[in-house]
Amino acid sequence: MNNSKLGFKPIPMAIAIALAAIIFFIPTPDGVSAQAWGLLALFVGVIAAIIGKAMPIGALSIIAIMLVAITGITVADGKADAAMKDALSSFANPLIWLIGVSIMISRGLLKTGLGARIGYLFIAVWGKKTIGIGYSLALSELILAPVTPSNTARGGAIMHPIMRSIAQSYDSTPEKNTEGVMGKYLALVNYHSNPISSAMFITATAPNPMVVNIIAESLGSEFRLSWSQWAIAMLVPGLIAFIVMPIVLYFMYPPTIKNTPNAVQFAKDKLTEMGPMSRDEKIMFVIFGILLACWAGIPKLLFGFDIDATATAFLGLSLLLLTGVLTWDDITSEKSAWDTIVWFSALIMMATFLNKLGLITWFSQSLETGISGLGLSGMTAGLLLLVAYMYAHYMFASTTAHITAMFGAFLVAGIALGAPPMFFALAMAAASNIMMTLTHYATGTSPVVFGSGFVGLGEWWKAGFVMSVVNLIIFLVIGGLWWKVLGYW
């Protein structure tokens, strides 16, 4: 048979099925139900297939939903209709629609050109030095983050073309072996802005709502973080990380050209070429402000009524459709949004039922037992788990797969060992984004920036490890102190 006719890659799929079968046929451990163990086998198989890229993640999610529904593995009585409801249960999760709709909204930043205009405006002001261009890229990334849940779209589709244009204007290109002039430095700043901005807002990357959901599922609804709570918690460590990151990279890979007066003129020329803000850009800008105000809780502060975060996203999308900034064709063609809604629903569904069936509790207790024998204090044991969780990302090409597979069990185990619950939950949330610095396959943005050829593989991994350590220290130390001031722990 011609393998090109298959809808999957045979070797990764065979490995995934083999792993699922091995787990399924291992005798069920004491304290674990047969249902939970069977669902774990299915879950591991799906995660392995995602890691191996046996099929697109959305396609694998459809298969996972089908298997849960047909096997009835989540229901005790095996009723087919109940199993189907369980399989589709997470499609009603508001957090999933928050991300899906926000991705649709972010299309407006690309379509109107507002995202690029913001980048060129900052470069026109601070672009006289190479490090100033770096800070302009970082600040632009930060401004766009709250309403761009696709970190790949933000770092790869909006910011990376701007970065490349600036580098090429100084004749700094991989093709001419002149990337060291400034392109290497700017590419690294372009990329390393992405994980930091992703950590700062629930709506800055797709897996963050999954983190919120797992925290609430694992620790109780009182630990469900709102959009504003997350943003306030990550504000200070995130801003410090943004200040430090371009400096660290500047010393690691100093650009040959330090002064760049032409970059200011280049940005001004680009803005002139774009012309004055169009009607659609102005509307997009106003809706941007409305979204931020509602997510930050301003309506409740001023008028006494609250607007749900997901309802806010629907409000923003509705306004964009009513004003004609986006059309329904734009929405239906936003493949990443619909893809995210499907895979997000399937993975959250499986993770939720693993927790309900007691598997996460059993696994976290096993972790707790193993680490407690080391005689470490609660905080030290928690930090050991945190570091193990974060650097396990070297084995993952998907933050979603990593978070789904490991976050819940490591969170519960760390808290059971004595780590302060809210401190540890926020540290784990930050680590779930910081880990994107590590490799050239760590998240969707990395192959885009790495693929442009400005940074070598060894240089990428070296910068990634150094920035992971720097960011982790900032979020643990400065973040920990800030969370203490906020009364979070």
CA atoms within 13 A on the CB side of 44: 16
pLDDT tens profile 326-365:
999 999 998 888 988 898 788 888 878 887 888 877 877 8
Instruction: Please report the pLDDT score of residue 167 as a whole number.
Output: 87
DSSP string, 414-469: HHHTT--HHHHHHHHHHHHHHGGGS-TTSSTHHHHHHHTTSS-HHHHHHHHHHHHH
> What is the residue extent of each domain of the chain?
1-92+345-357, 95-215+224-332
323: pLDDT strictly greater than 50? yes
What pTM does this model have? 0.78
pLDDT tens profile 465-478:
999 999 999 999 99
- Phi-psi category of 113—alpha, beta or left, where left has phi over 0 and alpha has psi -120 to 50? left
CA distances from 251 to 173, 238, 247, 254, 435 (A): 20, 20, 6, 5, 22
DSSP 441: T
pLDDT tens profile 76-128:
876 899 999 999 998 988 878 887 888 888 888 888 988 888 888 988 888 88
DSSP string, 366-424: HHHHHHHTTT--HHHHHHHHHHHHHHGGGG-S-HHHHHHHHHHHHHHHHHHTT--HHHH
Q: Of 34-38, 212-216, 467-471, which has the strongest mean pLDDT?
A: 467-471
Q: What is the mean pLDDT of residues 285-304?
A: 85
DSSP 26: S
State the average pLDDT for the chain: 89
Q: What is the CA radius of gyration of the chain?
A: 23
* Separation of alpha carbons 351 and 342, rounded Å: 14
pLDDT tens profile 125-177:
888 899 999 999 999 999 989 988 778 778 887 888 888 888 888 888 888 99
pLDDT tens profile 376-402:
788 898 999 999 999 988 877 678 878
Say which residue, 260 or 477, is predicted with more confidence.
477
- Range name among 76-85, 216-225, 296-305 with the lowest pLDDT average: 216-225
DSSP 29: P
Q: Is 340 helix (H, G, I), strand (E, B) or coil?
A: helix
Rounded to the nearest 10 degrees, how much is the dihedral formed by the CA atoms of 277, 280, 283, 289? -70
Confidence of residue 2 (pLDDT cuts 50, 70, 90): very low
* Separation of alpha carbons 123 and 132, rounded Å: 8
Q: What is the mean pLDDT of residues 253-282?
A: 91
Q: Which residues of 354-379 are buried (b: 16+ CB within 10 A; e: fewer)?
A: bbebebbbbbbeebbeebeeeeeebb
Confidence of residue 1 (pLDDT cuts 50, 70, 90): very low
Q: Which pair of structure tokens corresponds to residue 179?
A: 């990337």
Q: Which pair of structure tokens corresponds to residue 269?
A: 């020329």
* Separation of alpha carbons 299 and 295, rounded Å: 9
